[in-house]
Chains A and B, each alone.
Chain A
Amino acid sequence: MSALLTLPTALLIVFILAAVGFVLGRKRAISAAGGDQSSLHSLPKQHGWHVALATAAPAFVLIIFWSFFSGLVSNIYVEAIVPDDQPELRLPLDQREGLSDREIEIRIEGRRDLFIANVKSLAVAIDGYIANGNATEAEVGNWRADLAPLQERLRADGQVVGASVTQGALTHALSLRSFNRGLAVTGPALAIALSVIGFALSLALIKRDFRARIAVEGWARGFLVFASTMAILTTVAILYALTAPSLTFFREYGVFNFLFGLEWAPAGDVAGVPEGHDGEYESALGFLPLIWGTLYIALVALLVSVPLGLFAAIYLSEFASKRVRAWVKPALEILAGVPTIVYGIFALVTIGPFLQAVVGSTVMPNTVSVVTAGTVMGMMLVPFVSSLSDDVINAVPQAMRDGSLGLGATPSETVLQVILPAALPGIVGAIVLAASRAIGETMIVVLAAGALSNVTGLEPNPFGAVVTVTTRIVAVLTGEGSGFDSIDVLAVFALAFTLFFITLGLNLLAQRMVAKYREQYD
């Protein structure tokens, strides 16, 4: 019975019911009209849609929520049923010796987590055991853990069982199973009940002057409003995801130590908070070397991209013939469409060795360096700067151009003394946006700026390797990240937090500049 009524089957039933509802609703509306369809307020198919939506929509939402929250509820349930005085949680006396109260507490907490994980895996194992047809539900209810073979029987069946099956674990596993079974049946049953209620009510509502169209449009509008809040939800989610761990980190490590620390040397412990002998952190997590590397590379990138992009934009918008424009603009756009990892690899295998060959290996010991990453990133940003500046320059009213040329200025004088000053706020906005991009760029610096995990002080050599904010984020979070429990991982969230606000600030600034400028000329 429980095996039959799963969420997918419930979903299927709901959709079949909705389809039936559409047909029935339509028929019923036609018959309600009594042969004169124009006497209906809404078209028959709108009545049909209304029944279908009323049947499916609430049940569908319920099923989505249920599939997410039932796991959560089940976890809360296990936490709740395991009492604090559970025999398995006690720490043997000989292990308590020489430990402070806090340490004992941490160990007991650890044993509790382990025990709960055991209970959960045991419950899953028993489920699998029954699913393989080795026992019936009734038999399982009478199991005792002191039967050593129980563990072996489960293992022999290919089930994964935790370290040791104790009586307590078995009891809790069994009650967890019955709770889960309850949950698994309740959800689909509720969904089907909801859809049947919707089905019956909406069918009953069908009358000659029932405003089915208004109701259906209400559903549609509701969905549109929900969809448009996605952007807000995403922002909120990002803010929450960044803020909570960052605040923990700032509290643990100290904002001042983080922002003005000159050394970045995570101790590398993935689990737990690594503490040295004197109770201080072993990890040195100073922000300065990272932001230095980031800004250094961004500076090089801007030094490359701003002149190139600006000159290209001026040429294309003021001097180039139509044909040149038609060919060069798309060619520049190609650069913007190339994925950043391609640039990263290009910097690594082509630009880096080339630069090293030019400046010599005493100045540039590695092929990865500030200039390697900065040059390539600058080239990547050229189309960005040039197309934004192009827009801005084109937005300068033609009257200003004509006026200047009419007074006898040469085209270049017009550009330099009339158009550029007029477009300046917009161009600065474009440069600020490019800077924000350069700071947040990841793959190029990961591949071409250096992969040091420890760094002290600020590297002055433009041909030296540096560490950037994004490089560290990728280095720590790539691989089998464990969770929020390590200070090193928390530090990375603090990095991302800082990065987010720096780029956000730059973006807002740029938007404001461009908007101001637009206001002036629109």
Chain B
Amino acid sequence: MTDATGFDAPIPPAARVSLYERSAQVKQRHRKGAALRYLGVAAITLVLFFLAVLLWSIFSRGIPALFQYQAEIEIYYDPEILNPDGGPVTPEEIGDVSLRSGFERGIFLISLKRTLDSAGIDVAQVVADRWIEEAVERLSAAGLSGGAEIIAGAGAPSEGARLLGQTGNTLRAAASALGGDDQAGAVEALETASTALAEAGFAEAAATLAEIAATAGQGALSDAADALTATGYQQALFDAAGFLRQPDQFDDGDLSAIIYAANRRDVRDRLVANPDLVGETAQEGVPIDISVTRYLSGELSGEGQANMPPGFNEAQLAIVDEMVEAGIIDRNFRWSFFTNVYSQNGEVAGIGPALMGSAYMMLVVLVFSLIFGVAASIYLEEFAPKNKITDFIEINIANLAAVPSIVFGILGAAILFTLTELGFGNSIRGTALLGGLVLSLMTLPTIVIATRAALKAVPPSIRDAALGIGASKVQTVFHHVLPLAAPGILTGTIIGIAQALGETAPLLLIGLSVSTGADILSSPFSGGLLEQAQSMPTVVYLFAQNEDAPVREGLAQAAIIVMLLLLFALNFIAIILRRRFERRW
């Protein structure tokens, strides 16, 4: 108090403010702090937005790919193709018929034509109409109206093409005459062209040309040349003539390109097995070419070169439109995707062997890592003395959990190389057994960590009680602790398996990506584990490497959807198990 005597000056009265009211400084501090909150919200929003885009990108492409357009075709087993020499057809003769010329371009093509006929679709007419429409559009875009009547008046489209071509030629002659310095000749050429246009029926264009001829007559040759080019008549006439020539070039190949005669081999095999079918007809669903599928699903509009399915033209799409209208083409869920084998061709590719291979690998992982993982955890948690060796094991497990998965693949590859060097051959390469073992080693740490957590959660009182009434240590663990920890162990195992299901890199290195010809596997008890296998993630990788955009983008995403659903199901089971059986002590 004495110190304060020097400060007699009156103490300024403290501002009387409520404790509940924040001062300006405090307010500012809180405002500054709010930035941290906003940043957090922004980060979470961004990540969730990314997740939404990811899922949208998968489902928007994958769901359409799970549907397939099929043409319902009356397949007629034409004896003339199967046996051109006449007489009865033997299975051997059928077996010798070429798949391409005999079936794809033979039976399938003829049947397609018959089907179109009976549906009342006149292919030649549709093609011609479509091209005439194109030509008229092209002409009217250049200001040459009345094209439809002119082409109709010329008779066949090829006649129309000749007429338009000739008219175009007179225009070209006029243009080249304008390029020279013979004024009279140029005027004459322009008048000829004008007459030709008028004769053809393009009255407005004829008038325009006459005006240009007048300009040329006044000596402004270059102005006339520019005016002529600006009309664009010449190019339009030639283009239209080109379109009109197309109907004659439309051949059977263009027609059969629409369908994908994938099951021709099956059909031939069926005929070999049952030659009585020759001369009969049967209803078959034939897949539509996968590029056309993109048109049908609306992904490609079919207008202009950029939006045209590669390798197709407007006339083919017109036929496709007619087929859709006549109900020949319909859209079905693609069940065959789940049973077919992998193929380069998107129309028939499937994930059958991949689903089985993944299932087998999960089986191996389940057996192997459940037995070894649980045993190792029990030892470490319940029996192991605290010493250097157990410490070393624990460090090992912790590190294995963080080793990049590709290193396990390298281990698998090295094992394969070593086995080959020892003379075992390459028979285990790319099998579900090897894949499963490599994945098991990878999942082992996950399962050990989960199992140990589950064992730790069992209260010591249970152990004490069991030991107290005379159970041995082993009996305590196996009769009391393990059953109580089982739900937790199972949950951890399922999560480990789900992780293994999506793992790709190690499987690529042990040869699963080259098993493109893998067939449906036999049962695990009759050697299915030792057959060339595929797995879901590696088949996704194969699809992603395909040349065809629809396969690369569509089917890959469809396979991803299947894989994600499996993962979701596994995790769902794990959550249910946890909810249902978890005990709180």
Contact = CB atoms under 8 A, between A and B. Distances in A.
A415 B50 CA distance: 27
Given A307-B43, A315-B44, A410-B33, A503 B404 contact: yes
Interface in A403-445: 410-413, 415-416, 433, 436-437, 439-443
Contact of B504 (A234, A442, A493, A496): A442
Contacts of B420: 483
A382 to B, nearest CB: 5
Given A225-B379, A379-B50, A504 B399 contact: yes
A217 B400 contact: no
The residue among B33, B405, B571 with the most chain A CB atoms within 10 A of its own CB is B33
A7 interface: no
Interface stretch (A147-155, A162-170, A236-244): A236-244
A233 B408 CA distance: 13
Count chain A CB atoms within 10 A of each CB in B44, B400, B423, B444 and give the residue with the most: B44
A413 B372 contact: no
Interface in B297-341: none
Interface string B51-68: 101100110010000000
Interface string B133-158: 00000000000000000000000000
B376 to A, nearest CB: 4
Interface string B399-435: 1101111111111011111001111100000000000
B47 A382 contact: yes
A120 interface: yes
A320 B448 CA distance: 33
A345 B557 contact: yes
B404 A231 contact: no
A213 B417 CA distance: 45
Interface residues of B, number: 95
A311 B43 CA distance: 6
A273 interface: no
B462 interface: no
A473 B40 contact: no
**Interface hub of B29, B32, B48, B508 (most chain A Cβ within 10 A):** B508
B505 A443 contact: yes
B556 A339 contact: no
B397 interface: yes
B133 to A, nearest CB: 34
Interface string B436-452: 00000100110010000
Contacts of B30: 410, 412
Contact of B509 (A229, A332, A473): A473
Interface in B450-506: 472-474, 478, 498-499, 501-505
A348 B552 CA distance: 10
B124 interface: no
A346 interface: yes
Contacts, number: 261
Contacts of B513: 478-479
Nearest to A72: B422
Contact of A231 (B384, B393, B410): B393
B404 A315 contact: no
A511 interface: yes
Given A308-B47, A412-B32, A483-B417, A496 B406 contact: yes
B474 A507 contact: no
A12 interface: no
Interface of A is mostly: helix
B508 A350 contact: no
Contact of B444 (A230, A237, A413, A441): A230
A350 B57 contact: yes
B565 interface: no
B454 to A, nearest CB: 16
A332 B47 contact: yes
B567 A499 contact: no
Interface string A470-485: 1001100111110110
Given A221-B474, A227-B372, A478-B508, A234 B441 contact: yes
B350 interface: no
B44 A234 contact: no
- Highest count of chain A CB atoms <10 Å: which of B378, B402, B420, B473: B402
A11 to B, nearest CB: 14
A395 interface: no
A35 B269 CA distance: 72
B413 A481 contact: yes
A346 B58 CA distance: 8
Nearest to A310: B43
B393 A416 contact: no
B17 interface: no
A309 B34 CA distance: 18
Given A337-B567, A483-B421, A503 B402 contact: yes
A477 B410 contact: yes
Contacts of B36: 311, 314-315, 319, 412, 415-416
A440 B445 contact: no
A228 B557 contact: no
A114 interface: no
B564 interface: yes
A230 B402 contact: no
Interface in B42-89: 42-44, 46-48, 50-51, 53-54, 57-58, 61
B367 interface: no
A319 B37 contact: yes
Given A223-B375, A227-B379, A349-B57, A470 B509 contact: no
Nearest to A239: B411
B402 A484 contact: no
B544 A241 contact: no
Contact of B375 (A217, A224, A343, A416): A224
A231 B509 contact: no
B399 A217 contact: no
B160 interface: no
B550 to A, nearest CB: 12
Contacts of B33: 410-413
B329 to A, nearest CB: 27
A482 to B, nearest CB: 8
A144 B567 CA distance: 61
B29 A228 contact: no
A312 B40 contact: yes
Nearest to B560: A342
A235 interface: yes
A220 B382 CA distance: 13
B581 interface: no
A138 interface: no
B582 interface: no
A245 interface: yes
B577 to A, nearest CB: 17
B518 to A, nearest CB: 15
A223 B511 CA distance: 32
A232 interface: yes
B44 A230 contact: no
A103 B41 CA distance: 70
Contacts of A508: 399
A345 B556 contact: yes
Nearest to B536: A339
B359 interface: no
Contacts of B373: 227
Given A332-B47, A341-B537, A500-B407, A234 B413 contact: no
Q: Which of A225, A315, A493 has the most CB of B within 10 A?
A: A315
B39 interface: yes
A228 B514 contact: no
By Cβ-Cβ distance, the 9 closest A-B pairs, closest first, are: A315-B40, A440-B404, A339-B502, A412-B33, A227-B375, A241-B414, A224-B379, A442-B505, A311-B43
Given A477-B509, A496-B407, A500-B404, 19 more contacts: A221-B379, A225-B379, A227-B373, A229-B393, A231-B393, A238-B411, A242-B414, A308-B47, A312-B43, A337-B571, A338-B564, A342-B560, A348-B544, A350-B53, A440-B405, A443-B541, A473-B409, A479-B514, A483-B417
8 contacts: A213-B472, A241-B411, A241-B415, A331-B51, A412-B33, A412-B36, A503-B403, A504-B399
